[in-house]
Amino acid sequence: MQITKLIGYLLISSFILIGCSDDDDNTLVTNALQSGNKKPLGSSANDLLSATNFNSLTIEIIAVQGFEPTTTAIQGFREFLQDRLFKPDGITITQRSVPSSGKAPFSIEEIAEIENTTRTLFNKEDDITVYVYFADGSKENDTNEQVTLGSAYLNTSMVIYEGTLRALSTRPNSPSLSAVETATLNHEFSHLMGLVNLGTPLQSEHEDPNASNHCNVSSCLMEAAIEFGSGMMGMGDVIPELDAQCIADLQANGGR
């Protein structure tokens, strides 16, 4: 009886071991297919800006149910991309809703884990892909004085803290939700495009000495204040734009 039990355990153990090694093989194949989308922030700036390696761009927007972006924001984001990128075969934006992860407020590690379970599109042939997650909550460590609206965290990955944007847009004198969404999308995508001095070399000295990878030109889209709620208040519904120095950097790195 005891021997039979022991054999049973041994059989189960070896089955599990075989199962694990199969998973490892699958993981290796998956990692190879996804490796182009698991690089440091800013390292795909030229691939996004130019048509040298990729002729088209596909944006995969995954939003938590009830936290989807406004259609106005997606239209503004699309126009921003068309103004700056050379993608002769076009820019496609896909959108899908998913249930809440229940993990708010979020660390970047938690956002990256959510990406691992929800992202379905990766670079393929001459199509480069970008993942955008609309989260149902805030970034951890937000304070009353400063909240974070979005983060770019890998070469083709960014998150918009839609819970925070919605809370902000209910305050008196705040811009509309769609204006805050558009500005945050454009700002975080500009980090993917290598701004400021983050994979796209500076053509002039305009990096903010007090906020690395941001621009020191007042009211430029890449001012650090845009990423934090403060820069949004009082802007009305006018979406901040890139200033001439930021655009010159992008153009020197293959952009429009």
**Residues at the site binding Zn ion, with contacts judged by CB under 5 A:** 215, 217, 220, 222, 227, 243, 246
- Residue 202 or 217 with smaller CB distance to Zn ion: 217
**Which amino acid is located at 254 in the chain?**
G
Q: Which 3 state secondary structure label does DSSP give 226?
A: helix
Question: Shortest Cβ contact with Zn ion: which residue?
Answer: 215
Nearest Cα to Cα of residue 81 among 56, 63, 118, 53: 56
- Residue 121 or 222 with smaller CB distance to Zn ion: 222
Which residues on neighbouring strands pair with residue 93, listed in sequence order? 59
**In degrees, to the nearest 5, what angle opens at C-alpha 161 toward C-alphas 85 and 128?**
30
In angstroms, the Cα distances linking 252 to 69, 87, 201, 216, 244 are 32, 16, 8, 19, 12
- Residue 51 or 217 with smaller CB distance to Zn ion: 217
DSSP 121-147: ---BTTEEEEEEEE-SS-BTT--SS--
Cα separation, 117 vs 34, whole angstroms: 13
Which residues on neighbouring strands pair with residue 228, listed in sequence order? 148
Nearest Cα to Cα of residue 140 among 182, 186, 183, 109: 109
Q: In whole angstroms, how close is the CB of 94 to Zn ion at the nearest point?
A: 25
Q: Which 3 state secondary structure label does DSSP give 76?
A: helix
CB 63 within 8 A of CB 97: yes
- Residue 119 or 187 with smaller CB distance to Zn ion: 187
Judged on CB neighbours under 10 Å (0-12, 13-18, 19+), 21 is exposed
Q: In whole angstroms, how close is the CB of 41 to Zn ion at the nearest point?
A: 10
- Residue 58 or 155 with smaller CB distance to Zn ion: 155
Judged on CB neighbours under 10 Å (0-12, 13-18, 19+), 221 is buried
